[in-house]
Structure 1
Amino acid sequence: MLDVDGDGNLREEDLLVLGNRLAAAFDLSGDATKIARLRGAFTQLWIHDLSTMDSDQDGVLDRAEFVAGMRKAAANDREGILQRLSVMVDAWMDIADTDGNGLIDEDEFQTMYIKSLGTSPQDLKVAFARLDVDGDGNLGRDEIRRATEEFYTSEDPQAPGNWLFGNL
């Protein structure tokens, strides 16, 4: 999903392209601040976390390096990586929250994932319902942060955060 060019590896450029896709999905061509903030968050995540997971030092992350690296990062610097992921979550929520109410509704959620990641609308309907743990029809920052933390750190197969990117 993060490997936008489909070559089986993750590079910083893949993340930056995802940021560009998200900006395009919400037509932010005139808002350089929001785009720069998201790109900056992706760059910091790459520099501080993802690039250090490159165990064979070939300049890219394959799936095994990513999975092992995320587990190691969560074990060794849980607060640090969660803080950097939180900055990224805040940046993309500021882009996707088109009505400015501080929440992501199902339409914003669908737009974000369909147009930036190509996720199935049917999977996203189920994912949204699973992530909306308080059942109010919106995803708040705390719900998204909790889901992000669960997605990357939880061993619980029933954790709502496992649906962060749809049915994987």
Structure 2
Amino acid sequence: MPASTRLDSEAGLRLTAAADCYWEGMAGLVDTDLDGRITRAEFVTAAQAGLHQDPGAFARIALPWHQAVLDVADPDAEQASSTASTVERVLVALGAEPHRARLISAEHRTDPTGRITHEEILREVENYYTTATPQRAFPVPA
């Protein structure tokens, strides 16, 4: 979070609520053997299957979290777009390798002002969760 964003601020509270919703939604898809524990294998398998099979799952579970992350990462930006450097910082904060994040954010500067629309960002996030297309930003888990 930028130094100017406090956790008890409106944006911070939205981020916390969205993170809780994301976790609860993903956990609900994941504990397939209902033992109260989530293994890495359960998480990966169930998350991929659940988000691929239920198109509405992304909108309910992951979209609010990612929108809240963008809002906190770029609080001074107009609501509809962010700078490539902000997108790069968000990708790195979410686990992307820095060199990949830099390349990918630079590729997506489609706005005449050099900004990336939130619509485009969130479409790419949705693709990450709902398609089998290889993702270049994040290392493939072993």
> Shorter chain as normaliser: what TM range?
0.7 to 0.9
Q: What is the total number of aligned residue pairs between the two structures?
A: 136
89, 107, 110: which one aligns with 1:111: 89
| 1:86 paired to 2:94 | no
- Contact map agreement 1:73 1:81 (CA 8 A) in 2: no
Matching of residues 19-58 of structure 1 within 5 Å: 23=1, 26-27=2-3, 28-29=5-6, 32-58=9-35
Gaps of 5+ in 2: none
- Contact map agreement 1:49 1:81 (CA 8 A) in 2: no
134, 145, 148: which one aligns with 2:110: 134
Q: TM-score, normalised by structure 1?
A: 0.66
Change in Cα spacing, 1:30 to 1:70, as seen in structure 2 (3 Å) is closer
For residues 118 and 75 of structure 1, the distance between their equivalents in structure 2, rounded to whole angstroms, comes to 22
Other-structure match for 1:6:
none
For residues 86 and 46 of structure 2, the distance between their equivalents in structure 1, rounded to whole angstroms, comes to 31
Matched to 1:122, the amino acid is H
SS at match of 2:132: coil
For residues 149 and 40 of structure 1, the distance between their equivalents in structure 2, rounded to whole angstroms, comes to 20
85, 98, 121: which one aligns with 1:121: 98
Q: Post-superposition, which runs of at least 4 consecutive aligned residues in structure 1 deviate over 6 A?
A: none
Identical amino acids, percent of aligned pairs: 24
Other-structure match for 2:38:
61
**Larger RCO (CA within 8 A; separation ≥ 6):** 2
Report the Cα offset of residue 32 of structure 1.
2.0
Other-structure match for 1:73:
50
Gaps of 5+ in 1: 1-22
